[in-house]
Chain A
Amino acid sequence: MSHDTVLEARDLTKTFSSTDPPTRVLDGIDLTVREGEFLVVMGASGSGKSTLLYTVSGMDRPSGGTVTLRGRDLTALGDAETSRVRLHETGFVFQEAYFLRNLTVRDNVLLPALKAVPKEKAAAVARVDALLERFGIAHVAHHGITQVSGGQLQRASICRALACEPSVVFADEPTGALNSSMSAEVMDALTHVHAGGTTVVMVTHDPGCAARADRVVYLRDGGVVDTRVLGTWSPERAGAREDELLLWLRKLGF
């Protein structure tokens, strides 16, 4: 693993044995993510994108292979250590707004921060309030989660992912359940996160969203079939990047 590699998966497999016959969703994937990179994973439904994301983020255990995050093999860690990695080193943005309905928007965002540094409550609160301000949802901070829009919830989800200042943020189709204006809000927010130096690994179906990435990998039947380097994103070249990406995706049968 070179010095600028933040995440690396080697010969990664995942088999779901609850189906009959068992389904092999990831089939020996090798993947490397560099420090500060914005990587997008694309592929048809059932290609294993989300499973790959859950497995490399330490949410689920792979059936085989290794996942190394900042030099630590996640597959060798116990439950307590893996959960510490999820708390301190990674953040996750889901397609659906997964929030605890018995907490306000602010408390949902605050939860990992208070968990991570219980003795520095004031600092955690200040950091979270700043995040809510930065992502434009401070005014709904004390609302219940059923009282805010989908876009606001996804921004809150990004705030929660950033609450412990992780080195990598994973996002699983963060705009999948949103309309176009809300999608733009969320992608702007993620781009903003990336611009701040955080590594972002995102799964998406949407070429418009994928065009924001530095690099796109394409999955088919649980394996990486091709990779496309797009370079640094700029709003001025957004249209050209999207066209270039679409052309590549069509060749791959997307």
Chain B
Amino acid sequence: MSRSLAARYAAGDLRKNAGVDVALAVVLVLSAFLMATGAMVVERVFGSIDRLFEQAKPPHFLQMHVGEYDRAALESFAAEHPEIDAWVVEEMIGFDGAAVAWQRPGTQEAGDLADSLVDNLFVTQNAELDFLLDESGAVPRPSEGEVYVPVAYQQRFDLRVGDELEVTTDDGAVPLRVEGFVRDSQMASSLSPATRFLVSEADHAALEAGGGGAPEIIAEYRVTHQADLGGLQRAYQADPALPKNGEEVTYPMIRLINALSDGLVAVALMFASGVLVAIALLNLRFVIRGALEDEVREIGAMKAIGIRDAEISGLYLAKYRVMTALACVVGGGLAVAATTLLTRRMEVSYAAAPWELTTVLVPLGALALVYVVVVAICRGILRAVRKVEVVDALVHGSILGERQTARRARRQARRLRRGGLAAGRTGKVDVRLALADLRSDAGQWALVPVVFLLATLLVVLPTSLLNTLESPRFLTNMGMPRSDVLADLRFTDDVDGLRDDVLSDMAGDDRLTDVRAFAEVLYESPSEDGWATLRVDVGDHAGTIELLDGELPAAGQVALSTLNAQKFGVGPGDELTLRQDGATTTAVVSGVYQDITSGGDTAKMPATTPVADVTGAAGYAIHASTAPGADPAAVAAEYAERYPDAAVVPTEEYTRQTMATMTGALRNAAAASLAFGVGVALLITSLFLKLRLTRERRTRGILSAVGFSRREIVAQVRAKTLAAAALGTALGLLVAATAGELVVGGVMASANLGLARLDLVPDPWLVYLAYPLLLVSAAGLAAVALTARLRRADTSAWLRS
């Protein structure tokens, strides 16, 4: 059969079923669009990060530290390890956002950075590694009086080159002029709790001398071969002379944290695409099987005149090939535009990813995957053409053989006998009729609930994940006690004295309730790689953590975060050796919890003495709840001002800011998923009803002939549609609450940030009321629109069709 005939057939078919084909094409375009966008965003994210890492040379291993340290020990460590390619001790001075003010010369515009709750660290440019880069990718070296501000602040506070910045120290203000903006490979992620400002050596010295800032260091190392990283890390941890009062971070972790926020959006997009592809395939099956049934006599005739099965299938396949190819082209084009929008922030924060072969191949591969899957499934569905018997097709108009027809009739008769119209005591005949139709044509009607199930997952899961990340319960799930105000005490020499002051102040404050202090005590424990630091939070942990396994620790016991349980190779019931200042004790592991704070490496022990009496702790965390009517932000600001050495933040706001970019991007993805989910539900319901109503014309004619009004007939169609949509939505909610949580949790857990299990915290009003109503309303709208015309038709026209 000639190609032109296939093309003419496809064109004729497209004209005949324009509405259905447009709906199918839209779903295919959306599938291709989202798949290509997701793939491109992933490629761009890693491209941007790789580019930034290439230019900025972030450390492969770093150790943060607060307090005194032995520089000679660091130098001898570096000398003893030839695998170190470069190293540096970066000295940083941390200032609270309120201490950094700005103004625009010649204008009235001014402000400060108090709204930002992350640490503002002033540093000088490094010589060999961990460079802060300007917008062009160059390594700027500010002169005296100049400052380079993080790009995140450029966007957030609308800072410009030429603005004046004033840092308030104990000795007065240090004036600086904004010379440019810097991108930071280590702290670019919105998840980073700190951000770096670049100043000259002289200004750094002035800030240090002025006082009021919190000094902190990072010992940073780059190795010649990354394979040596593990050994170096172990050697560092094993050396007692080296500074360790702070988090240790490795290169893969820096890379992961950077990729997570934007990568999560890409994952959400690809998830949405997967759902849409599934919906498109279900519809294709419905449409193609319907077309085969409707055109079985033509197929029979073609077979009778000797046209081969493959050629007949090819006639149908040609249309879907063209449709899918066009969808991929259009979806790919739209994806380029969407990716440009989505990656704009990424390019500013990281670097413009260079165009490489993979930039083109990755989205093309994604689109090719969509094309191949769709065409392969169509081909599979069209295998039914082979089974069509000429006689059955021409005489009985059936795609089934005689035996299959008889089998189906017997099956149907058995089903009919089970429940008749007169059976049972109650129920309007209209309802019984609708139920009988749903039962007998369950195979076709199943499309609606399955599509609504998938659409429900599409709209519910991203929103639930977003709500989870924004929920206060998430913090408890993730290892942080739930509170309104958090005071973190560590940047001072007399941390115990500061603790006493803050605790007594808070205890006497009417606005605060449930003040709870935790001491951070550093132990060492034997791991696979020798003695390793174990950071233990000591205090009353009742109600502050949710354990994955085991119980809260009692006296002589310790609970470990999942990462620490892995690191030390222990579980509940096992004994763990603890060493502090040379003295060794043992504690039984009581349970395991998940934690993303402090890099996920934490442990919890009960206080044997009141935390107020503990000495020698590395730091303290004091959590407090606010009394009704008290504003956590105002209380935190007041304490932060009173205790400059303490970092006091309103917990919820702090978390919100830390997660802001991630949740912001996820919010966009969730909004897009909602729009796509509801749109596709509307589209598919319309498509289904369009085909169904065409095939049900005779049934409507019969009902009308025996005395059903058009209004009743229309009501039956609408009720069946709504029931099917509601069933699918309910099932979707069930799946989202069970399997969905496992899948989302699994994806998050695979990031290995200390998250072993994610309990989704859906917003009940949105997830269990608003979204289901929206979806079912979409079905209702489609049903109303598609059935509106039924009221005007003649009964005989229905019967004769």
> With A104-B416, A111-B429 in contact, is A87–B707 under 8 Å at CB?
yes
- Docked complex: A74-104 residues within 8 A CB-CB of B: 79-80, 82-84, 86-88, 92, 94, 98-104
B768 within 8 A of A: no
B799 touches A98 (CB 8 A): yes
Closest to A84 in B: B707
B796 within 8 A of A: yes
Write out the residue numbers on chain B whose beta carbons fall within 8 Å of the beta carbon of A115: 429, 706-708
Map CB proximity to B onto A58-79 as digits: 1 under 8 Å, 0 otherwise.
Answer: 0111000000000000000001
Write out the residue numbers on chain B whose beta carbons fall within 8 Å of the beta carbon of A59: 704-705, 794-796
**Chain A nearest Cβ from B430, distance in angstroms:** 8
- Docked complex: A91-140 residues within 8 A CB-CB of B: 92, 94, 98-104, 106-107, 110-112, 114-116, 118, 121, 124-125
The segment from B435-443, B635-643, B739-747, B776-784 found at the interface with A is B435-443
The answer, among B422, B702, B709, for a CB contact under 8 Å with A100, is B702
**Chain A nearest Cβ from B692, distance in angstroms:** 14
Closest to B702 in A: A98
A102 touches B707 (CB 8 A): no
Alpha-carbon gap, A82 to B699, bound state (A): 18
Closest to B706 in A: A112
Alpha-carbon gap, A174 to B795, bound state (A): 18
Extra pairs beyond A54-B795, A102-B439 (11, CB < 8 Å): A60-B795, A102-B416, A102-B436, A110-B420, A111-B706, A115-B707, A124-B422, A142-B413, A143-B413, A146-B409, A164-B707
Alpha-carbon gap, A59 to B704, bound state (A): 8
B428 within 8 A of A: yes
Alpha-carbon gap, A116 to B429, bound state (A): 10
B711 touches A79 (CB 8 A): yes
B698 touches A83 (CB 8 A): no
Write out the residue numbers on chain B whose beta carbons fall within 8 Å of the beta carbon of A80: 709, 711
Write out the residue numbers on chain B whose beta carbons fall within 8 Å of the beta carbon of A142: 413, 416-417, 420
A61 touches B409 (CB 8 A): no
**Chain B nearest Cβ from A128, distance in angstroms:** 9
Q: Ordered nearest first, which 3 A-B pairs have the shortest CB separation?
A: A87-B707, A102-B440, A83-B709
B707 touches A83 (CB 8 A): yes
Map CB proximity to B onto A32-67 as digits: 1 under 8 Å, 0 otherwise.
Answer: 000000000000000000110010000111000000
- Docked complex: B405-461 residues within 8 A CB-CB of A: 405, 409, 412-413, 416-417, 420-422, 428-429, 433, 436-437, 439-441
Determine chain B's interface SS by DSSP, over half rule. helix
Write out the residue numbers on chain A whose beta carbons fall within 8 Å of the beta carbon of B422: 107, 110, 114, 121, 124-125
Alpha-carbon gap, A164 to B701, bound state (A): 18
A86 touches B409 (CB 8 A): no
Alpha-carbon gap, A193 to B698, bound state (A): 26
Determine chain A's interface SS by DSSP, over half rule. helix
Map CB proximity to B onto A139-168 as digits: 1 under 8 Å, 0 otherwise.
Answer: 000111011000000000000100010000
B705 touches A111 (CB 8 A): no
Closest to B430 in A: A115
Alpha-carbon gap, A50 to B797, bound state (A): 12
A94 touches B421 (CB 8 A): no
B428 touches A103 (CB 8 A): no
B710 within 8 A of A: yes
**Chain B nearest Cβ from A78, distance in angstroms:** 9
For this complex, 24 residue pairs linking A to B, each with C-beta atoms less than 8 Å apart, are A50-B796, A51-B796, A60-B796, A79-B791, A80-B711, A83-B704, A84-B709, A86-B706, A86-B707, A87-B706, A92-B706, A94-B799, A98-B702, A99-B702, A100-B436, A101-B412, A102-B440, A107-B420, A107-B421, A111-B421, A115-B706, A115-B707, A118-B429, A146-B412
The answer, among B420, B421, B703, B709, for a CB contact under 8 Å with A79, is B709
Alpha-carbon gap, A51 to B796, bound state (A): 8
B441 touches A102 (CB 8 A): yes
